[in-house]
Structure 1
Amino acid sequence: MKNRPIDNYSVEMYQAAADYILERAGTRPDIGLVLGSALGNLAQLIENPVIIPYAEIPNFLTSTVASHAGQLILGTLEGKRVMCMSGRFHYYEGYDFEDLVIPMRVMQCCGVQTVILTNAAGAINESYRPGDIMIISDHLKLTGASPLRGPNREEFGPRFFDVSDLYTKRLRGLVRTCGENLGLSLREGVYYFAVGPQFETPAEIRAMRILGADAVGMSTVTEALTCGHMGMDLIALSLITNMAAGVLDQPVTGEEVDETGRRSAADFSALIREIVSRLE
């Protein structure tokens, strides 16, 4: 699955991936967009798309999740040049945490400075409902591992870096304004990173709630930390697709996640378009 150990990834290898992408696309993107589970239909909004399967990109990774398209799409959205990952990579697929820096570093090598991360998440906060959209203001990651473990690449960022404004406060305000313009009542809260692939137990959800988490998912945080290391501006949005384990007296299923994604696609797509249109 992996091309080689992450320790051997040089800046030149990231740049080789970026050069391949830029040659295929013919232009440099300004905004990066990562589409999570049940959100792949947003990729259809991109105009004049250039579609590149992940497997064709040198030194890149390959998605194994059935609901993820596993392709990079470059084109325009609301008049802005975008680079969209339709499908992402997860620790539970068998990658090491250190592997998960690759997509965001390649994005930056392509010219991206602002990234929008999206995901499907389960609601820990009992006032949330499926179909809600949550702006991530902070996260909890208690796994003990970091995607930035290993040799530091000074070309991307410092060995030790601040994450107090990881989810860029200025841009969170922009998202709230976009929601108001569309008549959407957005949530804002803390995302708990769980490694998966199993959904969480009711006891784990109770513990997460005590710690201050509002939603839980299996992605986004590794990408966010990589963006923070490189000083990139970041927006992260969770589509609440289900109530987390134990909140309701029913099991959590992947089918529920996909169904909520389909029902909420119009609102979520409208919000993404509004955000992109207002980014400088």
Structure 2
Amino acid sequence: MDTTAPPGVYQRATETALYVRSMLPNNLQNPKVAIVCGSGLGGLVDTIEPDPKVELAYGIIPNFPQSTVQGHAGKFVFGLIGPQKTPIALLVGRAHFYEGHTMDLVTFATRVCKVLGVGTIIVTNAAGGLNQDYAVGDIVCLNDHLNLAGLVGIHPLRGPNVDEFGVRFPPLSDAYDLDLRKRAHKAWKDLGLDKHKRRLHEGVYAFVAGPTYETRAECRMLRTLGADVVGMSTIPEIVVARHSGIRVLAFSLVTNSAVLEAGPRGDDPTIQAMNGAELTEHLSKGKANHEEVLEAGREAAKDMQALVKQILSGLYAS
């Protein structure tokens, strides 16, 4: 069996990185950190200094996939952050598998970040809360994941290994960097956010392919398997980042509480006198919608921005 890398994977990432560098001033050409901004979290771009700042629309970048989802602007932003003026890259919007992209395209931006020299990636997303102790607006620092799509074969490393990035069988038991998670909790307290209503948790993210939100039975299954939050992104990027030797810190913003209770039965005596509109309202309680996701993102944006900036300031203080 031929185990050589498919032609073009590393080459395309290198070509894209060379183009991106050609559009940047010298002090932005080698970002140390990348941040992936999830649904409604594009405001993280405000964490960087206003000058120098370069924004590149995904549409003009060679080989880059296009994001079609509301709340994902679709631009690569470069600038400096914190008192140490650390060069940073932000992916404002991401490509999702459910949009019809291949896993190769979903994770392509992560590979470009590796070629650019990124050593740490902070990945954010909007997610549904499965853990009933979580409230809408809470932030979850991920410490593990369930890659359900990957377990059934939809895996970002499927196929011949790309040796230029990493080994054939990368471990993931250490995927979520412990030092970075420790810094996240310290930053939360240093900012005084632990005294506010919004809470910072640690938990497990379940990756599902989407684009439908989960059924009640699926939510109960995922919770039984140990998942605290569920979403349609992030894990492919994290797998590829770890394959490439990039340190990972990931946050989920809880934008809705998943419905775990079984739905009403058709022979339930309490619904027999309800008309059609009343039945629809009764069944729709707790139903998730994308507008709700974006609104929760707007509400939490300032805390998320402050947290990320504080973490990075501490990370490069010495």
TM-score interval, smaller chain: over 0.9
Paired with 1:178 and 1:186, the residues of 2 have a C-alpha distance of 11
Q: Which residue does the alignment assign to 2:167?
A: 158
Paired with 1:42 and 1:230, the residues of 2 have a C-alpha distance of 24
Aligned-partner residue type, residue 211 of structure 1: L
Does 2:81 align with 1:77? yes
Q: Which residue does the alignment assign to 2:241?
A: 227
Q: Deviation per CA, 1:63-118: give whole Å up to 9, x if none.
A: 11121100000001212110000000110010122322211110011110100000
Q: Identity of paired residues, percent?
A: 41
Of the structure 1 ranges 129-138 and 44-53, higher mean CA displacement relative to structure 2 is found in 44-53
Does structure 1 conserve the Cα–Cα contact (< 8 Å) formed by 2:47 and 2:306? no
Secondary structure at 2:107 match in 1: helix
Of the structure 1 ranges 56-65 and 105-114, higher mean CA displacement relative to structure 2 is found in 56-65
TM-score scaled by length of structure 2: 0.83
Does structure 2 conserve the Cα–Cα contact (< 8 Å) formed by 1:98 and 1:146? no
| Greater gyration radius | 2
Does structure 2 conserve the Cα–Cα contact (< 8 Å) formed by 1:70 and 1:87? yes
Q: Which residue does the alignment assign to 1:18?
A: 17
Structure 1 residues 50-129: aligned runs within 5 Å: 50-78=54-82, 79-129=85-135
Does 2:314 align with 1:274? no
Paired with 2:298 and 2:108, the residues of 1 have a C-alpha distance of 29
Does structure 1 conserve the Cα–Cα contact (< 8 Å) formed by 2:94 and 2:106? no
Secondary structure at 1:112 match in 2: coil
Residue ranges of structure 2 left out of the alignment (5+ in a row): 194-198, 262-283
Does 2:256 align with 1:239? no
Paired with 1:100 and 1:254, the residues of 2 have a C-alpha distance of 20
Does structure 2 conserve the Cα–Cα contact (< 8 Å) formed by 1:31 and 1:82? yes
Paired with 2:189 and 2:206, the residues of 1 have a C-alpha distance of 26
Of the structure 1 ranges 60-69 and 102-111, higher mean CA displacement relative to structure 2 is found in 60-69
Question: Which residue among 169, 173, 179 is the counterpart of 2:188?
Answer: 179
Aligned-partner residue type, residue 13 of structure 2: Y
Paired with 1:10 and 1:212, the residues of 2 have a C-alpha distance of 34
Paired with 2:294 and 2:12, the residues of 1 have a C-alpha distance of 35
Secondary structure at 1:25 match in 2: coil
Q: Which residue does the alignment assign to 1:3?
A: none
Paired with 1:176 and 1:194, the residues of 2 have a C-alpha distance of 27
Paired with 2:292 and 2:246, the residues of 1 have a C-alpha distance of 33
Instruction: Measure how far apart 1:7 and its partner are.
Output: 4.1
Root mean square deviation of aligned Cα: 1.5
Does structure 2 conserve the Cα–Cα contact (< 8 Å) formed by 1:98 and 1:150? no
Q: Which residue does the alignment assign to 1:43?
A: 45
Secondary structure at 1:148 match in 2: coil
Paired with 2:8 and 2:100, the residues of 1 have a C-alpha distance of 18
Paired with 2:40 and 2:130, the residues of 1 have a C-alpha distance of 19
Structure 1 residues 138-217: aligned runs within 5 Å: 138-143=144-149, 144=152, 145-184=154-193, 185-217=199-231
Paired with 1:98 and 1:58, the residues of 2 have a C-alpha distance of 15
Does structure 2 conserve the Cα–Cα contact (< 8 Å) formed by 1:199 and 1:245? no
Instruction: Measure how far apart 1:216 and its partner are.
Output: 0.6
Does structure 2 conserve the Cα–Cα contact (< 8 Å) formed by 1:101 and 1:148? no
Q: Which residue does the alignment assign to 1:252?
A: 288
Secondary structure at 1:276 match in 2: helix
Does structure 1 conserve the Cα–Cα contact (< 8 Å) formed by 2:98 and 2:211? yes
Q: Which residue does the alignment assign to 2:299?
A: 263
Q: Which residue does the alignment assign to 1:134?
A: 140
Instruction: Measure how far apart 1:162 and its partner are.
Output: 0.7
